[in-house]
């Protein structure tokens, strides 16, 4: 089968998407108008033109600024449902979504407002679009441990609907070790753990995520290739990497898509998966990530099928649900 047709028809599983990163410029302006929030760009075109990033921090600054338009339960509902509709049209059948409560609670938006809006949309998405989902609460690593503990406490009434905790935001200078105790507390609550590591940070952060945070998946992880012993360990442990190719190129990790290591990760036997990260900011959702990597790296039909199977294997699903996707 032609790889373009295969990508289009592949039932897709997404394991790394920040719901706040699905806020399209049109929606950002609509929420701003509705909520009386001012935006420092005159229109959608000017905002989109500002999406030229040179590293993770230059993106995060705009991403957190964009969050300011999200105020009500209805905003979080519409944001999430719009994402689900877009990816349902791309053949996504299951998605595991990050949310950043601290970027909202620090602006005075209640945890319940964020959580209720997102989870109402997830229920609606399953009912009307047939997409299954899981929610992953991310701690912002540029904030301190006490703030993460406070966030975990606020999440307590909702833990039956949160599958895991994660770690995102500015990586360099904020190693996984900073959150060892809060991740231990999350595991005691029965939560799984994941962490962004080896996106901009060194291979050592990937080791810390494994050894100290006891993660079930590494988010990004692309810098593992700088450390052969680490690659061997990740292969031996069959540790999934949730790779986000368009994101890595847009944030300057790799100059061009043809420099991206996705194919090398697969060839080394790693359990790599393809994901969109912050699709409204990086130029594409799941299909665009598959299409761009296939074109630039010459992914074969086998590579594409392997990426699809890896994501099903790495998903936080029970055996029955996994079987249904295979
Ligand atoms: N938050 C949203 N997107 C992120 C990324 N790519 N890395 C770290 N934190 C993030
Ligand atoms: Zn991410």
Write the residue with the smallest CA distance to atom 9 of ligand 1: 169
Distance 2 CA to ligand 1 centre (A): 33
Q: Confirm or reject: Cβ of 230 under 6 Å from ligand 1.
A: no
Q: Classify 165 as helix, strand or coil.
A: strand
Instruction: State the distance from the centre of ligand 2 to the C-alpha of 247, rounded, in angstroms.
Output: 8
ipTM: 0.98
Q: Can you give the pLDDT at residue 1?
A: 84
| 12-18 and 92-99 strand pairing | parallel
| 326 confidence band (pLDDT: 50, 70, 90) | confident
Spell out the long-range contacts of 205-214 with Cβ–Cβ below 8 A and sequence spacing 24 or more: 205/171, 205/175, 205/176, 206/230, 206/234, 208/175, 208/176, 208/177, 209/167, 209/176, 210/237, 210/239, 212/176, 212/177, 212/180, 212/183, 213/167, 213/176, 213/179, 213/180, 213/183, 214/183, 214/187
222-231 confidence digits (pLDDT tens): 999 999 999 9
- Residues around ion ligand 2, judged by CB within 5 A, are 277
* Predicted pLDDT at 264: 98
Residue identifier of the C-alpha nearest atom 1 of ligand 1? 169
Catalytic residue among 14, 199, 200, 208: 199
Clarify whether 288 is annotated catalytic. no
- pLDDT tens, residue by residue, 34-58: 999 999 999 999 999 999 999 999 9
Mean pLDDT of 22-44: 98
User: Does the structure show a pLDDT above 90 at 83?
Assistant: yes
Q: Taking residues 196-210, what's their average pLDDT? A: 99
* Residue of 194, 111, 109, 190 lying closest to 153 (CA atoms): 111
Whether the per-residue pLDDT at 8 is higher than 90: the answer is yes
For the CA of 21, the nearest atom of ligand 1: 2
- Helix (H), strand (E) at residue 273: strand 271-274
- For a pLDDT cut of 90, what percent of the chain falls above it? 98
| pLDDT, tens only, 140-183 | 999 999 999 999 999 999 999 999 999 999 999 999 999 999 99
């Amino acid at each position: 089968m032609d790889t373009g047709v295969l990508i289009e028809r592949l039932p897709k599983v997404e394991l790394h998407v920040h719901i706040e990163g699905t806020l399209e410029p049109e929606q950002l302006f609509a929420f701003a108008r509705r909520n009386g929030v001012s935006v420092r760009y005159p229109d959608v075109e000017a905002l989109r033109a500002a999406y030229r990033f040179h590293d993770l921090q230059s993106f995060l600054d705009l991403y957190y600024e964009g969050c300011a338009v999200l105020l009500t339960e209805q905003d979080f509902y519409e944001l999430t449902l719009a994402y689900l509709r877009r990816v349902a049209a791309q053949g996504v059948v299951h998605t595991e979504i990050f949310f950043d409560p601290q970027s909202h609670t620090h602006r005075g938006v209640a945890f319940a407002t964020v959580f209720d809006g997102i989870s109402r949309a997830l229920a609606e998405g399953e009912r009307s679009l047939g997409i299954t989902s899981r929610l992953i609460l991310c701690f912002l690593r540029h904030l301190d441990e006490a703030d993460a503990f406070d966030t975990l406490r606020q999440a307590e009434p909702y833990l039956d609907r949160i599958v895991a905790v994660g770690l995102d935001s500015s990586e360099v200078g904020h190693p996984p070790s900073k959150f060892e105790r809060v991740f231990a507390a999350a595991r005691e609550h029965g939560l799984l753990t994941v962490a962004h590591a080896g996106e901009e940070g060194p291979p050592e952060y990937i080791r810390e995520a494994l050894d100290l945070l006891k993660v079930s998946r590494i988010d990004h992880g692309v810098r593992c290739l700088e450390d052969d012993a680490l690659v061997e360990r990740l292969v031996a442990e069959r540790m999934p990497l949730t790779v986000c190719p368009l994101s890595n190129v847009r944030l300057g990790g790799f100059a061009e898509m043809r420099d991206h290591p996705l194919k090398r990760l697969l060839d080394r036997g790693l359990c790599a998966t393809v994901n969109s990260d912050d699709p409204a900011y990086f130029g594409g959702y799941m299909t665009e990530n598959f299409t761009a990597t296939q074109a630039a790296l010459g992914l074969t039909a086998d590579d594409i099928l392997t990426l699809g199977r890896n994501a099903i294997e790495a998903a936080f699903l029970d055996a029955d649900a996994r079987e249904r996707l295979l």
